[in-house]
Chain A
């Protein structure tokens, strides 16, 4: 399994798409230098939001471009025949792929994150510790999406898998707010239906620490810990389901 993890990590990290995406990510983090003067005195806020957003979006792009392919190539080009006839279970194989992809995301997000934190620390003239937590939150959000993309890759081709992942991402972001809105306007039936979807789709808002980053509003420790454990459990369940589907698959 260690070999599978390393190999899928190595494959992803050597992908040229990754460099391109990283370059664009860095460019976007620094884009606030150019747009900043248009914000009427909100340069720092813009730099923080854009920076955090780029780590999320470029992580998502990596997941869509590379994450979908790591499994597909293996199945389509039949390289998995040589692996899966060795002493490794299919479940371990899937888990290895997921962990390899997770490591890729971790490394790229950390690279972008360190650039981002140094940049806003320079802008503000003080080390932005809150940004660390915000970046870690984004990494956990991406971890859930890694689970989703691995699940999608077990039964969809890369194109449909990307669509599926984007779809899940969008709904994962929208459903929590939609529930609040439905409750606020007393559409209780709608709220109840949405709550069911809430169990299925990943709730990315648990890992959203933007309020701390932008407004310095402290976030209770329980919420942070809950968010982390939620993300870990959700990703594990996704990989587990992916493994179950893959166990039964004809190769």
Chain B
């Protein structure tokens, strides 16, 4: 992955709108047209998928072809479990299209009937992205009936059916993904998601302590230290290296990382406005801001995520 990134950096990016995967045939005919490449075709598409993913990630693209490239890949090589796994996670997460991820996985369910991976990741998308616990439970359970399903799939099935708090199940899934993959990109994604979930967990804990304080004392705290140790044990370390602060105007705990994200988004939206005034249209993708000299660089996302840029605005 690192090599891809370095390689990407060494060549000047093409800013005028070009579709790197426009050559890719689509639809069912792809199985036929790639056949002459024999065993090499799935490898080419797999490398193309990774390359595309890396490219879009760096340039802050919209991952328009992500679904298509994984669709093609799993059509050519319907037994390729890693493609289902990696594909569904990035399509649902960074590609923000959980429904598409499920569509691809459902084909795997049929064409790769002995693998627990497709049903498990359908459950995963329902659980984490679509928050449909009943369906998630159904697919987790389906995964347990296929050979080789690890023990945590059973636990997750139980979680989903019992509607155990989402966060706990999610952390479990992500940590299992983290442990069981050699794919560095996937490891990073898992780690990022685990950190986000832990951050949420901490915020919830802090805010619960705060609410109890206000209920019992009938006033807002002057300083955080008033809460320790009766209402909260200690201020936890913020997983992204920021800090937790008490914001009296909002009357709740917030993470400085979140504040920073809000600041960056406001900054970017402001610059997008400048861009629009200057050129009369909104850029196709965020890196056009840099290309056209409106800003020097795009500040990295504090959570290591991709900015959600749609229709001329960055949203959270």
Contact = CB atoms under 8 A, between A and B. Distances in A.
Q: Do chains A and B touch in the complex (CB under 8 A)?
A: yes
A50 interface: yes
A211 B182 CA distance: 22
Interface in B213-258: none
Interface string A116-127: 000000000000
A56 interface: yes
B31 A52 contact: no
A181 B28 CA distance: 8
Nearest to B115: A215
B50 A185 contact: no
Nearest to A204: B38
B46 interface: yes
A6 interface: no
Contact of A52 (B32, B33, B39, B47): B39
B155 to A, nearest CB: 25
Given A49-B42, A50-B43, A177-B31, A215 B186 contact: no
Q: Please report whether the interface of chain A is mostly helix, strand, loop or mixed according to DSSP.
A: helix
A173 B1 contact: no
A87 interface: no
Interface residues on A, range: 20 to 34
A169 B32 contact: no
A177 B86 CA distance: 26
Nearest to B185: A40
A210 interface: yes
A41 interface: yes
Interface stretch (A10-18, A31-39, A67-75): A31-39
B37 A53 contact: yes
B82 to A, nearest CB: 6
Interface in B13-44: 28-29, 31-33, 35-40, 42-43
A178 B35 CA distance: 10
Contacts of B36: 169-170, 173-174
A42 interface: yes
A38 B182 contact: no
A67 B240 CA distance: 64
Given A38-B47, A50-B40, A53-B37, A185 B28 contact: yes
B270 interface: no
Most chain A beta-carbon neighbours within 10 Å: one of B39, B42, B79, B82: B39
A89 interface: no
Given A39-B47, A50-B43, A181 B32 contact: yes
A114 to B, nearest CB: 18
Interface in B168-192: 181-186
B4 interface: yes
Contacts of A37: 1-3
Contact of A41 (B35, B47, B183): B183
Contacts of B184: 40-41
B71 to A, nearest CB: 15
A39 B39 contact: no
A46 interface: yes
Given A37-B3, A38-B3, A53-B40, A173 B35 contact: yes
A40 B51 CA distance: 11
B39 A210 contact: yes
A76 interface: no
B202 to A, nearest CB: 31
A123 B2 CA distance: 21
A211 B32 contact: no
B185 A53 contact: no
A103 B86 CA distance: 44
Nearest to A40: B183
Given A41-B184, A177-B35, 14 more contacts: A39-B46, A40-B1, A41-B82, A42-B46, A45-B43, A48-B39, A53-B39, A53-B40, A57-B40, A184-B28, A185-B28, A214-B39, A214-B79, A215-B79
List the 5 shortest-distance A-B pairs measured between CB atoms, nearest first. Answer: A41-B182, A53-B40, A40-B183, A173-B35, A49-B39
Interface of B: 1-4, 28-29, 31-33, 35-40, 42-43, 46-47, 50-51, 79, 82, 86, 181-186
10 contacts: A35-B47, A37-B3, A38-B47, A41-B183, A53-B43, A57-B40, A174-B33, A178-B32, A208-B38, A215-B79
